[in-house]
Structure 1
Amino acid sequence: MTPSPALHGPGRASILDGNSFRATDGTVLDPRTSRLVARRSARLGPSYRLFYRDPVEIVRGQGSRVWDASGDEYLDLYNNVPSVGHAHPAIVEAVHRQMATLTTHTRYLHQGILDFSDELVATLDDDDLQVVLVCTGSEANDLALRMGRAVTGGRAWIATREAYHGNTALVSAHSPSLAGFGQLDPTLRIIDPPDTYRAGSPEAAGEAFLAELGRAIAEIEASGDGLAGLIADFSFSSDGIFFGEPGMIAGAADLIHAHGGIVVADEVQPGFARNGDRFWGFQRHGIDADIVTTGKPMGNGYPVAAVIARPDVWDAFHAQGPYFNTFGGNPVAVAAAHAVLRTIESEGLQAHALETGRQFRSALSALAAEHDQIGDVRGAGLYIGVELVTDAASRSPDGEFALTVVEALRRRRVLTSVCGPHNNVLKLRPPLAFSPGDIPHAVERLALALADARATR
């Protein structure tokens, strides 16, 4: 998701003197932080943004914890990039060993990429798939959009209202959450996600989503733009985290396919066992995806991503010309990704995510019973949304309160962020190293942060 400016230091800070900055809420940064913010702002420019009015300088991580430059420990409830845990020794060792041996591009034979790709495909429901490795989720989704247009002949994609699929020119034009930062593709059709909180039931949310999808398809066909397909993160992460019940929107793929389009499952955020029920988010809903894209958690911090598709989809794209990515699929990236896959299996992290997530949601729901402004606790596995509202009866989103809670959590050394169209859903997405023993600490700090936030109103 595109972070809210309210969560960022430099854009909200003003110079007090040569050594200090003050955020617009009056927060005065310590001298070291002030100097780093000033250097960063001067050298990196305004596009790089920081979380928090009082930014955190992280210097070390281990498991689900990180430490700042002062030695203070934080519980990380946000980062799915180090998906199996910060500084996981198996990934560190695999990357170090391969870096000391060889790194090059994919125009040479290398067994590592083949072994890894076989194991990656084995997590899917179809052995007849082909893999292209790239460096980032943005590159993966860029390639997927181009492939979809090649195989269907259509131009119009459908995406959900707050979707974020990456930052290339093509992909950002199909990321409605970036609408305020650039021009969306004129053929893009935007639909609402399956809002399980306000629809009344998962079934009603699923029906509403399929109706939205049908409306968008009809609009595309009437326009003559030609349907390319649907690109979706089937946890609807940036829309506010709407996993719903398994199979709730299974008919979406059938509807797209019936009208000649394809389905791109963007697994850059919810993939790699995080939802607990299945290895991939789209599998949880019984979606028949034509293209699967992966990224963020794939290398536990090492930049690696992938596009996985059937041979016929690849053939239509390859007929237009070859594809090459200098760093995509290099042996070090493959070593990192392979170690992640093996760690998920050897440590039973899918089952761990399922059970730990169940316990975490249960504890959060108990907290919600004591706090009228927690309107909903939802999610699957270790991907949880806590929606904050003005009151439970109205269900009106309270983004200002949510941002205040995030800042209060930071002061109490718990890191997270927000998502959803109103920035009012706490996005709890810790490394899979997060354990049942972490739950009481997380819930206690959230309770204190809620009290802190109310006290400032």
Structure 2
Amino acid sequence: MATRSTIMDTNSFRPEEASGLSPATLAMTRRREELLGSAYRLFYRDPVHLVRGQGAHLHDADGAEYLDVYNNVASVGHAHPRVVEAVARQAATLNTHTRYLHSAVLDYAADLLSTMPDEIGRLMMLCTGSEANDLAVRVAQAFTGRRGVIISTEAYHGNTAMVSQLSPALGSAQPLADWVRLVPEPDPRHAAAAGMPLDAWFAAQVQAQVDDLEAAGHGCAALLADSIFSSDGVYPDPAGYLAPAVEVVRRAGGVFVADEVQPGFGRTGQAFWGFARHGVVPDLVTTGKPMGNGIPVSGMAARPEVLAAFADHLPYFNTFGGNPVSVAAAQAVLDVLRDEDLQLHADRVGTDLLAGLRGLDHAAVGEVRGAGLYIGLEVVDPADGTPSRQVALDVVEELRARRVLTSVCGGGGNVLKLRPPLVFDDDDATRLLTELDGALRTVAG
């Protein structure tokens, strides 16, 4: 299986390299492929068989404990008791779809919208971030009467038929739509090489693609962006650089869709939503994974006038979107985020962790970037300082051997993606720094 996708294949298990696995693990990988097919992927050369989680910690079938530095799905921590209790209570009472009245759905919608700018006044509920982004693109195209969408070169926005065509991170086997245009990752080093501030440089990249979409007859419907550009390698700074690019798109008649699946819900520490760090108010906002702490639920929030062009003419129904059990989980997550002050916690712990990572004395450590508890650490060849996917993968595997779980991102597959549950604490951060220091010394000397 050749490596094609940075997010799916880069550090995935490969059956042809399975000779060193335990008999039990090997048998389970073979049974999994026989039953589920070959499209699925597993992390690590030696896959992990997890059976239990608590907070930022996971346990495998043999009782070994791991530190989770990968998972924004369980955003408020694995098996958070308040989420578990809310789900169990609602499941024992009622679970059905949104074609019946249910006050909890309305209360949650009002609560979630209260965390957003006043201009965002509608919420449609779905099950996954992929569905939310799919719907957002349809709404953007209906509102603008245009088709073209601008994304970043290593973006991932989901896996439906539509948004797979907006997800170059899925790799070479997934073609992009002819109405999609790419802009480079907003790396300040690119802008510096061009002798420009990052905001002006990135806006110029977007303008060039707007012009190309116009020339091709598609027009520009939307800029769809994750405001921390997580799949591209994590580019949070300087805060505010995204705003001029959004204005370029709006002048062309398009809208800004903020994909908040990864930077939302307090993850960046400095703001509840990632887009707020850039001083912009989106036209559409999508969210997913962290919304229900592992229970499938997602949302698309919108300016009412933007949504109207779609909603006033086409009925929409999602059988499980906004069901009472998922909403109970989502409401519990919002309550925990506030009651445990997890946004401030992410800011404090993340700031200290970022300083600790930047203080690592290793030739294999390149630039370290982050905001709150979303950090990207570039791994480079210690001999010449060039980006090294192989060294990064070896570090990830060595961390797995040390029972610390993480992954990679970026077009070169050489950026460690450090994105733990928001309850990740000072002791967890110390453990990560210690084990990462040891892994770097083992792999790169």
Class of the TM-score when normalised by the shorter of the 2 chains: over 0.9
**Structure 1 residue aligned with 2:376:** 385
> Any conservation in 1 of the 2:133–2:259 contact (CA below 8 Å)?
yes
Identical-residue share of aligned pairs (%): 51
Is 1:422 paired with 2:426?
Answer: no
- Looking at structure 2, the residues matched to 54 and 237 of structure 1 have their Cα atoms a distance apart, in angstroms, of 26
1:311 CA displacement = 1.3
Cα–Cα, structure 1 residues 142 and 128, in superposed 2: closer, same or farther, change >3 Å?
A: closer
Is 1:5 paired with 2:9?
Answer: yes
Cα–Cα, structure 1 residues 203 and 346, in superposed 2: closer, same or farther, change >3 Å?
A: farther
**Structure 1 residue aligned with 2:336:** 343
1:203 CA displacement = 7.4
- Looking at structure 1, the residues matched to 279 and 120 of structure 2 have their Cα atoms a distance apart, in angstroms, of 18
**Structure 1 residue aligned with 2:105:** 113
**Residue 70 of structure 1 is aligned with which of 55, 62, 86?**
62
1:283 CA displacement = 1.0
1:222 CA displacement = 1.9
Q: Equivalent residues in 2 for 1:143-292 (5 A)?
A: 143-197=135-189, 199-200=191-192, 204-292=197-285
One-letter code of the match for 2:143? V
Is 1:407 paired with 2:397?
Answer: yes
One-letter code of the match for 2:363? D
- Post-superposition Cα deviations, 1:39-77, rounded to whole Å, max 9, x if no partner, equal 101111111110000000011000000011111110000
- Looking at structure 1, the residues matched to 183 and 155 of structure 2 have their Cα atoms a distance apart, in angstroms, of 10
- Looking at structure 2, the residues matched to 315 and 259 of structure 1 have their Cα atoms a distance apart, in angstroms, of 20
Gaps of 5+ in 1: 15-20, 23-27
1:181 alignment partner, SS class = coil
Cα–Cα, structure 1 residues 322 and 66, in superposed 2: closer, same or farther, change >3 Å?
A: same
**Residue 100 of structure 1 is aligned with which of 92, 95, 100?**
92
> Any conservation in 2 of the 1:253–1:288 contact (CA below 8 Å)?
no
1:91 alignment partner, SS class = helix
> Any conservation in 2 of the 1:409–1:449 contact (CA below 8 Å)?
yes
1:400 CA displacement = 0.8
- Looking at structure 1, the residues matched to 190 and 210 of structure 2 have their Cα atoms a distance apart, in angstroms, of 24
> Any conservation in 2 of the 1:252–1:287 contact (CA below 8 Å)?
no
1:409 CA displacement = 0.3
- Looking at structure 2, the residues matched to 132 and 47 of structure 1 have their Cα atoms a distance apart, in angstroms, of 30
**Structure 2 residue aligned with 1:374:** 365
One-letter code of the match for 2:440? L
> Any conservation in 2 of the 1:303–1:333 contact (CA below 8 Å)?
yes
1:259 CA displacement = 1.1
- Looking at structure 2, the residues matched to 6 and 263 of structure 1 have their Cα atoms a distance apart, in angstroms, of 30
Cα–Cα, structure 1 residues 235 and 72, in superposed 2: closer, same or farther, change >3 Å?
A: same
1:6 CA displacement = 4.3
- Post-superposition Cα deviations, 1:136-182, rounded to whole Å, max 9, x if no partner, equal 00000000010110000111100000000000010001112224122
- Looking at structure 2, the residues matched to 106 and 4 of structure 1 have their Cα atoms a distance apart, in angstroms, of 33
Q: Equivalent residues in 2 for 1:295-310 (5 A)?
A: 295-310=288-303
**Structure 2 residue aligned with 1:18:** none
> Any conservation in 2 of the 1:76–1:431 contact (CA below 8 Å)?
yes
- Post-superposition Cα deviations, 1:317-339, rounded to whole Å, max 9, x if no partner, equal 12441000000000000000000
Cα–Cα, structure 1 residues 106 and 66, in superposed 2: closer, same or farther, change >3 Å?
A: same
Aligned residues: 440
Cα–Cα, structure 1 residues 298 and 258, in superposed 2: closer, same or farther, change >3 Å?
A: same
- Looking at structure 2, the residues matched to 128 and 341 of structure 1 have their Cα atoms a distance apart, in angstroms, of 18
One-letter code of the match for 2:352? Q
1:263 alignment partner, SS class = strand
1:403 CA displacement = 0.5
1:199 CA displacement = 4.2
The alignment's C-alpha RMSD in Å is 1.7
- Looking at structure 1, the residues matched to 88 and 330 of structure 2 have their Cα atoms a distance apart, in angstroms, of 13
TM, length-normalised to structure 1? 0.93
> Any conservation in 1 of the 2:6–2:408 contact (CA below 8 Å)?
no
One-letter code of the match for 2:433? V
Cα–Cα, structure 1 residues 42 and 272, in superposed 2: closer, same or farther, change >3 Å?
A: same
**Structure 2 residue aligned with 1:54:** 46
- Looking at structure 1, the residues matched to 382 and 22 of structure 2 have their Cα atoms a distance apart, in angstroms, of 36
Is 1:357 paired with 2:350?
Answer: yes
- Looking at structure 2, the residues matched to 215 and 395 of structure 1 have their Cα atoms a distance apart, in angstroms, of 32
- Post-superposition Cα deviations, 1:396-429, rounded to whole Å, max 9, x if no partner, equal 2111110110000000000000000010000000
- Looking at structure 2, the residues matched to 203 and 357 of structure 1 have their Cα atoms a distance apart, in angstroms, of 29
1:362 CA displacement = 0.6
Is 1:437 paired with 2:431?
Answer: no
> Any conservation in 2 of the 1:4–1:423 contact (CA below 8 Å)?
no
- Post-superposition Cα deviations, 1:273-308, rounded to whole Å, max 9, x if no partner, equal 000111111111012210000001000000000000
TM, length-normalised to structure 2? 0.96
> Any conservation in 1 of the 2:86–2:329 contact (CA below 8 Å)?
yes
> Any conservation in 2 of the 1:377–1:387 contact (CA below 8 Å)?
yes
1:198 CA displacement = 5.2
> Any conservation in 2 of the 1:241–1:379 contact (CA below 8 Å)?
yes
